Amino acid sequence: MLFNSLEFTIFLPVVFTIYWVLQKSKLKYQNFWILASSYFFYGWWDWRFLGLILFSTLVDYFAAKSISSSNGNNRKLYLWLSICVNLGFLGFFKYFNFFIDSLKNSVLFFGGELDVATLEIVLPVGISFYTFQTLSYTIDVYRGKIKPTDDFIAFAAFVSFFPQLVAGPIERASNLLPQFFTKRTFSYSLAIDGLRQILWGLFKKMVIADNCATFANLIFNNSDDYSGSTLFVGAMFFAFQIYGDFSGYSDIAIGTARLFGFNLMKNFAFPYFSRDIAEFWRRWHISLSTWFRDYLYIPLGGSKVGSITKIRNVFIIFIVSGFWHGANWTFIVWGALNALFFIPLLVLNRNRKNLDFDEHQNVWIYLKNLFNRVLTFILVTIAWVFFRAESIDHALNYLKSMFTKALFTSLDSKILEDSTVLFYLISIFILLEWVGRKNEYALEKLGMSWPMLIRWSFYGLIIFSIGMFMVTEETPFIYFQF
């Protein structure tokens, strides 16, 4: 079930109403209602994979309890059981055909032939997200950071919590699970704040991302027909598409959770205003970046090792992160390219230079920051070409055609004419994001000091723009495929 679908506009009010009717009863009834609603939400897409979530939940529930009650090597045994089962499912559904194809191509490269058939595998939506979420639970229990829960309903609701089930944020048990044991009462201000964030998420997805997708798809699918300048604009459209799509989803997820009295972790912090690549990765997909930091980078030694090992660790993190996104070499190259952008900052010990948005009043520093922001956006956009392209050859040919003298020629007249309104919408979007950059999301405090009539007119204008510029057909979120 998509957040931007008619089904969800019916589903959400029904679940919301019954949930708060249950607030005077025992907490376990509210948790059970969340669990039932979450399984219905996921089963709406494909009920056959409900058993997969249930099995994964059972494995981690009992693995964590066994870890807690065991000593010595048995604790490791149960931890590895959880890791192998979860990553085994992920590997089979997501990477089986990729490894078979890569093996066949390798054998063919050396003159041989391998006759192994691939399988028609349907990738379960959100498997990468809930797999990492449940893994963090058993690892944290093993490390002694949290205690395992005896409440299976609460734990199953934590694993399948529908606002963030299929595309994150990837929650940690230490943050989300305790909230299922806390009495929740309806808060009008919290609900309004949640609705405001949902509204902003829908604007990002339905106005910015979906309209950018129209032109990005047109240009990427016909890249041989366009000049360098149009190809650059196509890459830029994709940069805004993926940001509007994924951060829009996160805003809707966080806002929806807030309607039910839950606080999810922040997943995006205005990454396109970053002044270097290190800052960008502190602001982009925060729940995944911090997951890899806590469960892979630090166990590898983190930054407390020699320079060569530190560089190796960075490469591992970025390449694994790229591979997490999809079973294609384009994602691996995308990750490696970001590592190459990041490593000079690491070597020069400048990777933690830009930590916040404090702007100095000095005009030269302001201009320097502006230059760094534009440069960082261009580097990120170049890397996105690999993320979006169908193959490595497609990405290389796209970049080769883009970086020619034609980069400085005028845009394709048809693209320019058809996308003029979108350029204005993107400009307004950037302006609103800039104004709200120090808050949790752009609309959080924007207009709070305005007269109520003007503030609500502003919200009405956003709703009107969604209705005015939304793409008519239903468009899935990009990260559903991961």
- Residue pointed to by tokens 């609900």: 191
Torsion of CA 31, 247, 335, 45, to 10 degrees: 50
| CB-based contacts of 417, cutoff 8 Å, min separation 6 | none
Q: At what angle do helices 329-347 and 363-388 cross, to 10 degrees?
A: 150
Nearest to 203 by CA among 461, 480, 472: 461
- The catalytic position among 285, 325, 360, 394 is 325
- The greatest distance separating any two alpha carbons of the chain, rounded to the nearest whole angstrom, comes to 74
Q: List, as one string, the DSSP characters of 182-211.
A: S-----HHHHHHHHHHHHHHHIIIIIIIHH
Q: Do the Cβ atoms of 273 and 437 come closer than 8 Å?
A: yes
- Residue pointed to by tokens 């650059």: 232
Active site annotation includes 325:
yes
- Exposure b/e, 381-397, CB count within 10 A at least 16 = b: bbbbbbbbbeeeebbee
Return the H-helix or E-strand segment holding 248: helix 228-259
Number of CB atoms found within 10 A of residue 63's CB? 25
Which residue blocks in 389-451 are alpha helix, DSSP H?
A: 392-402, 413-418, 420-435
**Which pair of structure tokens corresponds to residue 30?**
């509210």
Please tell me whether the peptide bond between 476 and the residue prior to it is cis, using omega within 30 degrees of 0.
no
How many Cα atoms occupy the beta-carbon half-sphere of 323 within 13 Å? 13
Torsion of CA 189, 193, 194, 200, to 10 degrees: 160
Q: List, as one string, the DSSP characters of 368-401.
A: HHHHHHHHHHHHHHHHHHHHHSSSHHHHHHHHHH
| CB-based contacts of 219, cutoff 8 Å, min separation 6 | 226, 230, 231, 233, 234, 237, 415
Q: Which active-site residues does the annotation give?
A: 325
